[in-house]
């Protein structure tokens, strides 16, 4: 390639970009970009189930085969063109990609993002480029509490990670009242560090009699070898082990800890193991407590709601496995988007709405989803609060699949702070205003 041909490329590409920036009138299709992990360690646990969930829902949306209230075709009647792309490769690349998608490929909206880091990197760009962006998963509460305190174009359709840990602490209090001490095994990176911090804070409020261990395990993320950690946990006095492991690390840890009887010796609390429970099946240690970042995946198995039943059926029919948390969470983001577009169109006399109209239609709404209401109650109506649930895994021999028993569900208002309160301060302050 030579300089001149670069110039050519740039001109062509530039022309494309300019051509795209026309008026939204006579919309032929809505371009929905869905960033998720297609490669790397995040792919099996999050990326692929999430993509599958989105594909199922988007296809149904275009065919108009979703149950009510989403039974109309497309977004505001306009068919959706799905653009799934890879979220791996680091923030620099993700920010670049985000800009390219908006300015070069004229994406109308984004639904997705799993990594907290990427969400934080993308948020200011989304606001700068005025691109409707619905975070479906990423955990960190910093997005709206520190980074983007006056959000306009950015939404999140599930509660942030703090609620996972609050719910976990509440579950411990409810099911293991006598617990004297708890220790932690968390990956030494942002997600693990935040998860432990919030859990520890919540425990201090909810179960002050229980003491946190002095020796917390912080293995490197993707370390893959946990022999020493398992020994250390077996030797520790605390009877409860908190871990926010996910994906390959989680599965490796289970394979290495099971033969050594850790799960018989200790009460182990997995805050995000919902992603692994179907895949591990029988190998999933019995009697461990786990959560799935909300009433998703295995927690939705028995939820008898038409939308949910349809989703599970459609998903199993298409992929032969059960939908996991991320499948639900991403699909839920798409539902919220459809909700916004349809409502805005109605308000717009049936005309296809502008992004700003969609935003207006979404802000502060209670959006019906599969197993919970997406209640955009926080941060000026941009941050959702959703219900939560924890339970104990049990292998159901005759059904030939794992089941959740001893499930405790938590209302969204019980595990989330009221609007205007920084979540960490809320926990420290004794979780005032929690409606349980």
Partner 1 sequence: MARYDRTLIGLALAFALLMAANFLMPEWVRFIGLQTLARGAVALGLLVLWRTGLISFGHALYFGWGAYTAALLTRAGITDAFVLTVAATLSAGLLALLLGFLLRRYRAIFFALLNMAFSMILYGALVKTEALGSTDGFGVASPSYFGFAPEGEAVTTTLFAFSLTLTFVVVVGVHLYLRSTLGGLTLAIRENEIRVEYLGYSAERAIHIKYVISGLLAGFGGAVMAMAIGQVDPDSMALWTVSGEFVFITVLSGTGSVAATYVGALVFELIRTYAFEYAPHVWQLILGGSLLAIIMFLPEGLWSLRQRLARAKG
Partner 2 sequence: MQQLVVILVDGLVFSSYLFMVAVGLTIIFGVMKVLNVTHGSLYAFGAYLAAYLVGVYYEAGLPDAGGFLMLLLAPVIVGVVLGLILERGILRHLYLRDEHTIVLATFAAFLMLEDVIILIWGVDPYFAYQPVSLLGSSEIGGLAFDNYSLSLVFVAATVGAVCWYGLRRTKWGKLLMAVIYDREISQAMGINVTAVYIVTFVLGSILAALGGAYVAPTISVSPGIGVEVIVLAFAVVVTGGMGSIGGAMIGSLVVGIARAAAVHLLPEVELFVIYAIMAAVLAFRPEGLFAPAKARRI
- The residues binding partner 1 (CB under 8 A) are 1-3, 6, 9-10, 13-14, 17-18, 38-39, 84-86, 89-93, 95-97, 99-100, 102-105, 116-117, 120-121, 124-125, 128, 140, 142, 147, 188-191, 193, 220-221
Task: Look at residue 350 and give the partner it binds from partner 1, partner 2, none, a contact being a CB closer than 5 to 8 Å depending on partner kind.
Answer: none
- Cα–Cα distance for residue pair 135/139, rounded to 1 Å: 9
Q: Going by DSSP bridges, is the β-strand pair 383-385/373-378 parallel, antiparallel, or unpaired? A: antiparallel
279 binds, among partner 1, partner 2, none (CB under 5 to 8 A by kind): partner 2
Q: Strand, coil or helix: what is 390? A: strand
421 binds, among partner 1, partner 2, none (CB under 5 to 8 A by kind): none
Judging by DSSP bridges, how do beta strands 388-396 and 401-410 pair with one another? antiparallel
The answer to whether the CB of 276 falls within 8 A of the CB of 254 is yes
Question: Which residue, chain included where needed, has tokens 């032929």?
Answer: 28
Q: How far is the CB of 136 from partner 2 (least distance, A)?
A: 19
Which of residues 92 and 436 has its CB atom nearest to partner 1 in the complex? Answer: 92
Judged by beta carbon distances under 5 to 8 A according to partner kind, the member of partner 2, partner 1, none in contact with residue 239 is none
Angle at 313 between CA 109 and CA 328, to 5 degrees: 35
User: Which residue number, 217 or 372, has a Cβ lying nearer to partner 2?
Assistant: 217
Nearer to partner 2, 144 or 226 (CB): 226
Q: Tell me the closest approach of the beta carbon of residue 222 to partner 2, in angstroms.
A: 5
Interface with partner 2 (CB under 8 A)? 38-41, 43-44, 47-48, 188, 215-220, 222-225, 227-229, 231-232, 234-235, 247-252, 255-256, 259-261, 279-280, 283
Helix (H, G, I), strand (E, B) or coil at 182: strand
Q: Whose Cβ is closer to partner 2: residue 282's or residue 435's?
A: 282
Q: Output the smallest distance, CB 59 to partner 2, in A.
A: 21
Nearer to partner 1, 94 or 322 (CB): 94
Instruction: Dump the DSSP string for 281-294.
Output: GGGSPTT-EEE-SS
Cα–Cα dist 377/416, whole Å? 10
Q: How far is the CB of 319 from partner 2 (least distance, A)?
A: 11
**CB-wise, 135 or 370, nearer to partner 1?**
135
Which helix or strand (DSSP H or E) is residue 184 part of? strand 181-185
Nearest distance in Å: CB 84, partner 1: 7
The DSSP-derived string for 137-160 is: S---THIIIII-SS-SSEEE-S--
CB–CB of 74/62 below 8 Å? yes
| CB 231, min distance to partner 2, A | 5
Name the residue nearer to partner 1 (CB basis): 223 or 347.
Answer: 223
Classify residue 121 as left (phi > 0), alpha (psi -120 to 50) or beta: alpha
Contact partner at residue 365 from partner 1, partner 2, none, CB < 5 to 8 Å by partner kind: none
Give the 3-state secondary structure of residue 388: strand
Contacts of 400 (CB under 8 A, 6+ apart): none
* Cis peptide upstream of residue 401 (ω within 30 degrees of 0): no
In the complex, least distance from residue 263 CB atom to partner 1, rounded to whole angstroms: 28
């Amino acid at each position: 390639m030579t300089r001149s041909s670069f110039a050519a490329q740039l001109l062509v590409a530039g022309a494309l970009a300019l051509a795209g920036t026309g008026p939204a009138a006579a919309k032929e299709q809505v371009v929905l970009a869905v960033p998720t992990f297609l490669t790397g360690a995040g792919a099996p646990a999050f990326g692929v189930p999430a993509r599958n969930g989105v594909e199922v829902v988007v296809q149904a949306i275009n065919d108009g085969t979703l149950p009510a209230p989403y039974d109309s075709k497309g977004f505001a009647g306009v068919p959706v063109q799905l653009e799934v792309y890879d979220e791996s490769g680091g923030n620099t690349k993700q920010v670049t990609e985000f800009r390219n998608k908006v300015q070069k490929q004229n994406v109308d909206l984004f639904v997705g993002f799993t990594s907290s880091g990427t969400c934080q990197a993308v948020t200011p760009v989304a606001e700068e480029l005025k691109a409707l962006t619905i975070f479906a998963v990423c955990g960190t509460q910093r997005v709206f509490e520190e980074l983007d305190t006056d959000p306009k174009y950015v939404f999140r359709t599930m509660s942030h990670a703090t609620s996972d840990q609050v719910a976990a602490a509440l579950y411990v209090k409810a099911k293991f009242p006598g617990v004297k001490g708890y220790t932690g095994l968390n990956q030494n990176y942002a997600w693990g560090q935040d998860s432990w911090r919030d859990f520890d804070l919540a425990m201090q409020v909810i179960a002050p009699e229980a003491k946190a261990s002095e020796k917390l395990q912080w293995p490197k993320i993707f370390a893959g070898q946990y022999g020493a950690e398992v020994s250390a946990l077996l030797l520790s006095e605390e009877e409860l082990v908190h871990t926010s492991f996910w994906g390959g690390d989680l599965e490796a840890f289970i394979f290495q800890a099971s033969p050594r009887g850790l799960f018989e010796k200790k009460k182990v609390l997995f805050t995000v193991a919902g992603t692994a429970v179907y895949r591990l099946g029988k190998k999933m240690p019995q009697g461990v407590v786990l959560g799935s970042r909300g009433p998703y995946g295995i927690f939705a198995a028995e939820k008898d709601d038409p939308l949910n039943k349809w989703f599970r059926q459609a998903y199993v029919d298409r992929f032969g496995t059960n939908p996991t948390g991320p499948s639900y969470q991403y699909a839920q983001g798409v539902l919220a988007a459809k909700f916004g577009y349809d409502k805005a169109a109605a308000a717009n006399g049936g005309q296809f709405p502008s992004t700003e109209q969609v935003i207006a239609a979404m802000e502060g709404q209670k959006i019906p989803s599969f197993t919970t209401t997406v209640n955009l109650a926080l941060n000026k109506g941009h941050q959702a609060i959703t219900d939560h649930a924890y339970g104990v895994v049990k292998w159901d021999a005759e059904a030939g699949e794992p089941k959740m028993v001893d499930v405790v569900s938590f209302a969204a208002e019980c595990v989330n702070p009221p609007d205007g309160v920084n979540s960490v301060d809320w926990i420290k302050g004794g979780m005032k205003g929690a409606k349980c």
